[in-house]
Amino acid sequence: MTSAAKPRIPDPCCFVIFGVTGDLAHRLVTPALYNLAEAGLLPDKFCVVGVTRTEMQSKSLHEDLMKALRQFATRPINEAIASKLFDCVTSVNADPSDHGSFDRLKAHLDAIAARGIRNQLFYLAVPPTAFKPISDELGRTGLLHDDGESWRRLVIEKPFGTDLKSARELNHDLLKIVTEHQIYRIDHYLGKETVQNILVFRFANGMFEPIWNRNHIDHVQITVSETIDVGRRGSFYDATGAMRDMLPNHLFQLLALVTMEPPSRFDAHSVRTEKGEVLAAIQVQSPEEALRNSVRGQYVAGRVGDRQIGDYRSAPDVDPASITETYVAMKLTIDNWRWAGVPFYLRTGKALASKRTEVAIRFKQAPFSMFRATAVERLSQNYLIIGIEPTEGITLQFNTKVPGPTVAIDGVDMRFKYKDHFKVAPSTGYETLIYDCMIGDNILFQRADGIEAGWQAVQPFIDAWDKAGGNGLALYRAGADGPREAHELIERDGRRWRKIDGE
């Protein structure tokens, strides 16, 4: 996310992808590289090195990526641009259990460096168990050594650890090999324009910040509801669950952007410091509090739109007796001056009635006294809604007088929709992230402290659920809006979830 008026072209760079034939590289990285090439945002001296675990000719990899682009491109393909991009692709076979193969990778990259492409970006589009072995080997061969003249960067996908302990260990291990500044921990939510806009909306406008605190905000709801079911991801998902898959990363990124203090500068250090601070201020709950303030659910057969979905437990590669949650709702508080006493309700789940990602900020109710002697029975609630999906935009809900001779009041919406104002070529959401890795801007990437603060906040929930086993797992019908218990969680406080379908 460059702060310059015109995006600058990155330095010459060799883009090394581990897991180049995998789903992530096919679905997101390849089309994003193409979109960057089309936008003229790749350096002239650029090449892709795909690392595969089994022998593959460069020509076959070239064809494989071209095929992936045809399948997943977000825009019509310009053949000349695509050929130029893929002509630079070479394939290297390397496996971290074989030192010699990494020595060969080094020799390959040295030869490319001798042609003037000395900066190297290592993108680990691989399962998390491979992060450490690969980075260890890159460290051993000296490939991650940043000599000050050319740069070396390491890009890591989520999930970053499976709990606080493993996240700490992974940070510790990586930081023995590279400096924090060389690591780019990707959370694809930060690639979404609407998510990036939260910072701008809050801090480039003077009118909301004075009321963005416990004096004026009643509570905040963060929702990521999905219609998709577990699909073919059973083995990953059943070992992971909704909490680890979504909370300490995606939902907490939204939470951090909405609640952080204003950074003094728009740079990676200041922004990441403030995000880390607020995540560290999430109150760590006791096991009893964690159980009381959370609901975990699992879907059973039902209909989502026109799709019939079976029980989660009958999905491929899922344990038939699984107690893995496919839905989570939780209540958190943030223990600092700005937010003390304001509840944050977070929920996410699969196989729900509709796809919706939003942050809804509910302001405190105006005093009703003035309307007591009128026919008005109640005031509508004042929400500010930051819509991320399906509607990208911002809506402010307020009360207004219904025209006519009597005093009648109705809630109305003031809406801003991105698509009404900006023409943006469809993208994968990875373009800015990849571009930022190449220009060396870490602002949209997670720092070690932020990651650990996120795990610290969810750890009591994970521990309490582990201990409770299957007790407390609430079942919900696919196509519903979550388990009944999730409604009870918020209604206990005299509040209600916003509907996940409808505007």
Residues that bind ligand BG6 (CB under 6 A): 224, 226, 245, 357
Between 184 and 339, whose beta carbon lies closer to ligand BG6? 184
Nearest to 234 by CA among 324, 306, 356, 157: 324
Shortest reach from residue 98's CB to ligand BG6, in Å: 30
What are residue 163's phi and psi, to 5 degrees?
Answer: -165, -175
Shortest reach from residue 242's CB to ligand BG6, in Å: 8
Rounded to whole angstroms, the Cα distance separating 465 from 325 reads 10
Rounded to whole angstroms, the Cα distance separating 288 from 277 reads 25
By CB atoms closer than 10 A (0-12, 13-18, 19+), residue 222 is buried
Between 298 and 357, whose beta carbon lies closer to ligand BG6? 357
Position closest to ligand BG6 via CB: 245
What are residue 198's phi and psi, to 5 degrees?
Answer: -60, -40
Shortest reach from residue 12's CB to ligand BG6, in Å: 31
SS3 241: helix
What's the Cα-to-Cα distance from 445 to each of 120, 436, 441, rounded to whole Å? 18, 9, 9
Contacts of 256 (CB under 8 A, 6+ apart): 275, 278, 279, 450
Q: Which two tokens stand for residue 155?
A: 């890009």
Q: Which two tokens stand for residue 36?
A: 């960057």
Between 357 and 442, whose beta carbon lies closer to ligand BG6? 357
Residues in the chain: 503
Query: Taking the mean position of all CA atoms in its chain, how far away is CA 125?
Result: 15
Shortest reach from residue 251's CB to ligand BG6, in Å: 10
Between 234 and 310, whose beta carbon lies closer to ligand BG6? 234
Shortest reach from residue 50's CB to ligand BG6, in Å: 23
Between 12 and 191, whose beta carbon lies closer to ligand BG6? 191
Q: Which of 216, 250, 269, 421 is catalytic?
A: 250
Whether residue 216 lies in the annotated active site:
no
Between 46 and 237, whose beta carbon lies closer to ligand BG6? 237
The beta strands (E) that lie in 287-426 are given as 294-300, 302-304, 307-309, 327-332, 344-349, 356-363, 383-389, 393-401, 409-417
Query: Taking the mean position of all CA atoms in its chain, how far away is CA 501?
Result: 22
Shortest reach from residue 224's CB to ligand BG6, in Å: 6
Catalytic residues: 250
